[in-house]
Structure 1
Amino acid sequence: MLGLLFAHSASFSLAPVLLALLLSLGSLSYLYFRTQNTLFQKPYFGINVFVVSFLIGCFTLLIHQQTRYPNHYIHLLSSKKQAHTCELVINEKLKNSNNTIRYDASIIRIDTRNCIGKTVLNIDKDSFKFPIKTGSHLLAKGYLFLTKKPNNPSQFDYGNYLKNKQIYSQFYCQSKNCILTKKIDRDIFYFADGIRTRIIQNLKKYKFNAPELHVLVALILGQQQDISPDLIKDYQYAGAVHILSVSGLHVGFILLFITFLLKLFPNTKNAALVKCIITILCLWGFGVLAGLAPSVLRSVAMFSFVALGNFLKRSINIYNTLAISIFIILLFQPAFLFDVGFQLSYIALFFIVWLHPLISSLWTPKNKISKYFWDIVSVSFAAQIGTFPISIYYFHQFPSLFFVTNLIVLPGMSFILGLGVIVMLIALCDSHYSFLYNTLEESIYILNKIISWVASLDSFVFKNIFCSIGMMLGTYLLIFSLIIWLKKPNYQKAIAFLISLIVFQIIWIDSKVTSQKTNEFIVFSGKKKNIISERHGTNVVLHSNDVTPKNWKEEAALQNYITENGCRISKTSTLKNFYSFQTYKIMIIDKSGVYLKNIHPDILILIDAPKVNIERLFRFWKPKMVVFGTTNFKSYVTQWKATCSKENIPFHDISEMGYFKI
C-alpha cells in the first residue's frame, strides 16, 4: 500500500520502476537461494522483501494509469472547445443528475481516431427517448470537458474522485445526436445487467411500490442509483447507510443460503470439491450481479477464502484472510485504495475482528436473547470506533444513535434479505406470489419508517465537525495504543498510550495555531450570487448582498469552507466598492458602474455586468489582476478578456477557473 500511495503522489515514468523491480527481484532470489549465513540473510532479506513489495505497488498503479498510454483520448483533444463525434461503450448506469441521464462509458473512437479511456456520458433528460443497456455501442456528437478542480475551497473534489476511477472527462450530448448501433459487447457484465433489468421490470410489472423497490434493489443488487436523496440522508443520519451497500452482512447471508441448499449433496470428498466450486462461483456471480463495488469485492474475496478453508478442513486466520484479499484486490484494482467505501469496509471489519472480543467481554449475558442483542451492540460499537476518525474526516458528522438503529433494524434484516432473495428469484422467472411480494414490500416500508423516525431526531446527529488529516491520524494512534493497553495492560503500554495522547494534543494545538495564523480573502463561485469572505484566523467576515446571517448555512460552499477550516462567521455585511486586505487594494465595480477614480487598485473585481469601458479604466489604472464574477454576461466577459490580453493584464474568470483567493 505504501508503494501505491507513493506512486499516486509522485510523478515518474514506468521504465525506472520496472528496472528497479527486476533488480530487487534478482537480489531477493539471490538472498533466498544462495545465502547460507542466517545472520546475514535475515535483516537483508527482510529489507529486500519490503523493497520488492513497495515497487510492486508502484508498478501496479503505474500500469493501470491509462493516461500514460499515447492513445488515450486526452492526448487527442485540442485546447479549444469543439464538438466531437465519439463511439462509446456503456459500462454501467450511474445516478442521474437534475438535468441529465448519466452513464459510465469507454471511448473507443474520437472523430476518426481509435483511442482508449473512460468518461461520464451525460445525455440531456428532456431529449432522452431510449434506455441504453450495458455493453451497447453508441455514436454520439457532443462536447468533452476534462475534469477540473472544485469551484470553491473545501468543496468535494469530484474531478479527483473520477480520476481515481480512471475517468478524466465528462461528455455532454443530446439524445437526438446519439445513434445506438447494433454492436453489443456481450461480456459477463452485459448478462448481469440483463438479469438485474429483468428482475426490476418484472417487479414493476407486478406493482411493487417504487420507494420500497429502490431500497430492495440496493439491498440485494447493490444498485443505489434510484433511491431518493432524502431517503439516503435519513439512512446517513440514522447511522444505517451501510445497510444500503452490499457488504459482509449481505454476502455472509448469501453464503449461508448457498451452504443450506448444498446440504443436499452427499458428504464425500468429490462432492465437497463440487460444493466448494459451486459456492465460490455463486459468490462471485452475486458479486458481478451487484456491480463489483469495493465493499462487494472485499466481502466476496474474503468469504471465498472462508469457503476454500472449509473445503480444506483448515481453520481460517481472519487477519491473513484480510491481508490476502486486500493484496489480490489492489493488485487488479489499485485505485480502490483511494475509494472511501473500500477504506471504511476494511477498517470496520478489522476493528470488528480485533476489538469486538474486548467489548464483548465487558458483560456475559445469561440467556440467548440478551446475548444476541449484546452481540449486535458490541459489534456496532467496535465498527463505529474503528470508522469514527475517518468518517469525521470525510463527512464531518457523526450519528450518535447508530447503536439504536442497529438494535432495531438488524434483527429484521435477515428476514428481509432472505425473503428478498427468494422474491428476486421468483421475479427472474417472471412469476408472481402476492403474499410474498406484499410481505416484503410491507417489511421494507416499515424499515424505511423506522430509519426516518431515528433520522428525525436530528439533535443526536453531530454535524460540521472540524477534523484535519493530522487529527484523524492522531486519533487512530490514540485508539490503537489504548486498545493494545486494555487487551494486555502493562507499564510500557501505559506509557505508549500517554505518549500517543500527548502526540494527539500536539497535533490538535498545531491545527488550532495554524488556523489562527491564516488570513485570506476569497471571492466564491456561486450561481447568480456574489459572495466574498474575509478571514482573520478563525473569524470570517462575510460580504454579500444575497446572503444574510439567517440563510448563510444554506450555502453549501460557505458551510464546507467554515467546517473544513474550523472557522465561524463573526459578522455579515453587504458588499462595498472598496476593500483593503493586507497590502492589497481591492476595487469592486457592480451594475451601478460606480467606482473611486482617485484610488488605484491592485485587484479589480467586476460583478453584475457593469456597463463600463475597462479599456478606458486601464488608461489611469494598471491593476495586477482583474477578476470576473459569475454574475456577468458572457459577452461582456469575452470582451473584457480581450482587453486584458491586449493590455497584458492578468485576469481570473471565476466561471471557468473557480474561486479567487488572496
Structure 2
Amino acid sequence: MHRYPFLRLLIPVICGIIIGDYLFFRSQHVWIQPFILLFICSALLLPTLFFLKKYSLRWLYGISVYICLFSAGAILTSWQLQQTSYTFPPSGAVYRAVITDKPEVKERTLLCRTRLWESRYLLSVAFPRKNILLYLPKDSTSLSLQNGDEILFSALLSPPRNNYNLGDFDYARYLTRKTISGIGFVKKNNWTVTCHNPHRSLRQMASKCREQILALYIELGFQGDEFAVLSALTVGYKEELSEEIRKSYSVSGASHVLALSGLHIGLLYGLLLFFLKRRPFNTVGVKIFRIAIILTTLWGFAFVTGLSPSVVRSVLMFSLFAFSEFKTGKYISMNTLAAAALLMLLYNPCWIFDVGFQLSFCAVAAILLIYSPLYRMWKVNNRIIRYFWGIVTVSLAAQTGVTPLILLYFSRFSTYFLLTNLFVIVLVTGIMYAAVAMLIVSSFPTISCFATTIVEKLIKTLNFTVRRMEQLPFASIDNVQIHPLEALSFYLIIMLCLCYLQFRKAKYLMGMLICVLIINSFWALRMFIHF
C-alpha cells in the first residue's frame, strides 16, 4: 500500500460515498451536517499536526487525512443526491423542457430524456433545472423529435418509484444516482414543439455528430445486425442491438466488446503510441507533442461518440495515463489508476455505483496486478504464438478481476470466455482500425467501397464466431446468486493470494482461509433458509 499513495487516499473516499448514499436514502436532510462538521474539524487539525512535525503523532495525521477524505466523500454524495431531489406539483402543471439526447423508440411510446427549464402551476413560476424521463405517445409528430428540440407540455410528474415487477432491483435509487429527478407520461395533444434546436450545448453537438456518423453507416449499406454491432463498437450506440444478438454476446462472454469503454479506447491509445513512439527523440518537446496528439485524438473520439459517460470516464483515465508516461516514463501503474478513480469520484461520486465504472476499473486493476506474472510463466520465442499468449493472459487477468461483479449483477459465468476472447479481441481490433480507415476514405467512392466490404466481412465473422460459441454445450453457468459480501470476499481472496505469492507470509494464507469460510457460511445459510 505504501507504493500506491493514491490508492490509500481512494479507499476512505469510497467508504464515505457508500455511507453517504446509504444515509441519504434513509434520511435525506439529517446526515450531511455532521459530516460537514467532521470535515472542518479534521481539516483544521491537519495543518497543526503538519507544523508540529512530531514523529510520534504521525498516526494521528494519517487518521485526520482519512477522516477528512471520508467526510468529503459523504458530503459530495449527499449534496449531489439532494440536488436531484425535487417536489413536483400535486396535479398537472405546464412545463418547458429541452430534449437532451436522441429520443428512444419504445413499443407504444417515445422515451425522451429532457431537462426542465420552466414550470407553471396555478399562479407560480419556477425554474427547476432538473433532468426527467418523459414518455410521449408514439406518432408521426413525436417520431420527428430530435436532440435539442424545445417542447411545451402538460403532465403530472412524479419522483422515481420502484417497479415491483423488477424484483429486488431498486429502480428509484438507480434513477436518482443517474440524476433523474422525475418521470412523466404525456397524453396525446398535451404537448407541442416550440422550436427546433434552440440550445446547442457541447453534449448536444456531440450527439448530433454521432447521428451523422450513424447516417453515414446506413448510406454505406450497413443494416441489420452488422449495422447494430458496428454502431455499438465504434460510437457506442446500442439501441439497434436485438435481444438475440445481446444474448449471444452475453452467453459467449463477449458482451464487454459491445460497451464502448476501456477496451476500445485502449486500442486507439495503443495505436497512437505505436506510431508516436517511433519518433527517434525523447526530449521534453517531443513528449509534449506526443501528449498533445494523444489528448486531441482521444477527446475528439469521445466527442464524435456523443460524450457518453462511459467513454468520458475511459478517455479521462487514459489521458491521465498519458500524463503519467510523460512524468514517470511508465504508461500505466496502479497509482495512476487510483488517481484517475479518485478524480472521477470527486467529480461525480455516484459513478462508484455504475456497473460499467466498476467493471472497467476492476478489469484494468486485475491486468496490472496479474498479467505480468501470468505472462512470464511461459517464455515463448515464436512471435505469433507470443501474441496469442498475450491475449490469453490479458483475458484471464481481466476475467479474474470482473468475475465476482458479473456473478453479482448478472448471475452468469461464461465458461468459454478464454476461447471467445482469443478470436473476438483480434476481430474487434481489426474492425476498429478498419472502421477508422473507412470513415477517413468515405469521400472516395472506390476506396470507400473496398473498406466497407472489409468492415462488413469482419463484423459478419465476429457475429458468426459469437453465435458458434453460444451454441457450444455448457456455454454458460446461469442463476449463480451471490451476496455483495461474498463478492467482496472473492476480491479479498484474490488480493491475499497475490500478496502470499509475492511475500510468502502465513498471515495472507490465513486471511484467504477466513474469506473462504465466510463464503461457505453464506452458502450454508442460504441453503438453510431455502430448505
Corresponding residue number in structure 1 for 2:44: 26
Corresponding residue number in structure 1 for 2:17: 4
Cα distance, 1:132–1:46 mapped onto 2, change above 3 Å: same
Indicate conservation of the 8 Å contact 1:133/1:190, yes or no: no
2:32 and 2:263 map into 1 onto residues whose CA distance is 40
Structure 1 residue 59 and structure 2 residue 75: aligned? yes
Corresponding residue number in structure 2 for 1:75: 87
1:434 and 1:317 map into 2 onto residues whose CA distance is 38
* 1:37 equivalent among 43, 54, 68: 54
Cα distance, 1:28–1:508 mapped onto 2, change above 3 Å: same
Rg larger for: 1
Structure 1 residue 118 and structure 2 residue 165: aligned? no
* 2:348 equivalent among 321, 329, 333: 333
Stretches of structure 2 that go unaligned for 5 or more consecutive residues are: 1-13, 25-29
Cα distance, 1:293–1:424 mapped onto 2, change above 3 Å: same
* 1:202 equivalent among 216, 230, 245: 216
Between stretches 179-188 and 213-222, larger displacement belongs to 179-188
Shift of 1:157: 3.0
Structure 1 residue 159 and structure 2 residue 168: aligned? no
Between stretches 210-219 and 280-289, larger displacement belongs to 280-289
1:485 and 1:154 map into 2 onto residues whose CA distance is 40
Question: Following superposition of structure 1 onto structure 2, how do residues 218-297 of structure 1 map, counting pairs within 5 Å?
Answer: 218-259=232-273, 267=281, 269-270=284-285, 272-297=287-312
2:345 and 2:273 map into 1 onto residues whose CA distance is 28
Letter in 2 for 1:411: V
Q: Determine helix, strand or coil for the equivalent of 1:474.
A: helix
Cα distance, 1:153–1:124 mapped onto 2, change above 3 Å: closer
Shift of 1:162: 1.2
Indicate conservation of the 8 Å contact 1:129/1:175, yes or no: no
Corresponding residue number in structure 1 for 2:62: 46
Letter in 1 for 2:364: L
Structure 1 residue 213 and structure 2 residue 227: aligned? yes
Q: Determine helix, strand or coil for the equivalent of 2:298.
A: helix
Question: Following superposition of structure 1 onto structure 2, how do residues 297-376 of structure 1 map, counting pairs within 5 Å?
Answer: 297-312=312-327, 314-316=329-331, 318-376=333-391
Q: Determine helix, strand or coil for the equivalent of 1:10.
A: helix
Indicate conservation of the 8 Å contact 1:206/1:432, yes or no: no
Cα distance, 1:378–1:274 mapped onto 2, change above 3 Å: closer
Shift of 1:498: 2.4
Indicate conservation of the 8 Å contact 1:94/1:225, yes or no: no
Cα distance, 1:491–1:192 mapped onto 2, change above 3 Å: same
* 1:105 equivalent among 106, 111, 114: 114
Structure 1 residue 441 and structure 2 residue 459: aligned? no
Shift of 1:479: 2.9
Q: Determine helix, strand or coil for the equivalent of 1:65.
A: helix
Corresponding residue number in structure 1 for 2:205: 191
Cα distance, 1:275–1:495 mapped onto 2, change above 3 Å: closer
Shift of 1:89: 1.9
Indicate conservation of the 8 Å contact 2:233/2:259, yes or no: yes
Shift of 1:275: 3.5
* 2:160 equivalent among 143, 147, 151: 147
Indicate conservation of the 8 Å contact 1:209/1:441, yes or no: no
* 2:495 equivalent among 480, 488, 502: 480
Corresponding residue number in structure 2 for 1:631: none
Corresponding residue number in structure 1 for 2:183: 170
Letter in 2 for 1:76: F
Indicate conservation of the 8 Å contact 1:356/1:379, yes or no: yes
2:251 and 2:489 map into 1 onto residues whose CA distance is 26
Cα distance, 1:178–1:13 mapped onto 2, change above 3 Å: farther
**1:540-592 residue CA offsets vs partner (Å, 9 max, x unmatched):** xxxxxxxxxxxxxxxxxxxxxxxxxxxxxxxxxxxxxxxxxxxxxxxxxxxxx
Q: Over the residues paired in the alignment, what is the CA RMSD in angstroms? A: 2.7
Question: Following superposition of structure 1 onto structure 2, how do residues 522-533 of structure 1 map, counting pairs within 5 Å?
Answer: none
Provide the TM-score with structure 1 as the length reference: 0.71
1:443 and 1:282 map into 2 onto residues whose CA distance is 24
Corresponding residue number in structure 2 for 1:614: none
Question: Following superposition of structure 1 onto structure 2, how do residues 444-523 of structure 1 map, counting pairs within 5 Å?
Answer: 444-457=459-472, 459-513=474-528, 515=529
Between stretches 425-434 and 201-210, larger displacement belongs to 425-434
Letter in 2 for 1:24: S
Letter in 2 for 1:134: N
Higher RCO (C-alpha under 8 Å, 6+ residues apart): 2
**1:573-620 residue CA offsets vs partner (Å, 9 max, x unmatched):** xxxxxxxxxxxxxxxxxxxxxxxxxxxxxxxxxxxxxxxxxxxxxxxx
Stretches of structure 1 that go unaligned for 5 or more consecutive residues are: 516-536, 539-662
Q: Determine helix, strand or coil for the equivalent of 2:296.
A: helix
Indicate conservation of the 8 Å contact 2:207/2:307, yes or no: no
Bigger helix share: 2
* 1:138 equivalent among 113, 133, 151: 151
1:324 and 1:231 map into 2 onto residues whose CA distance is 36
Cα distance, 1:473–1:286 mapped onto 2, change above 3 Å: same
Shift of 1:130: 4.3
Letter in 1 for 2:208: G
**1:484-524 residue CA offsets vs partner (Å, 9 max, x unmatched):** 323443433333322332232223223333x2xxxxxxxxx
Structure 1 residue 407 and structure 2 residue 422: aligned? yes
Indicate conservation of the 8 Å contact 2:160/2:172, yes or no: yes
Cα distance, 1:212–1:143 mapped onto 2, change above 3 Å: farther
Letter in 1 for 2:115: S
Q: Percent identity?
A: 26
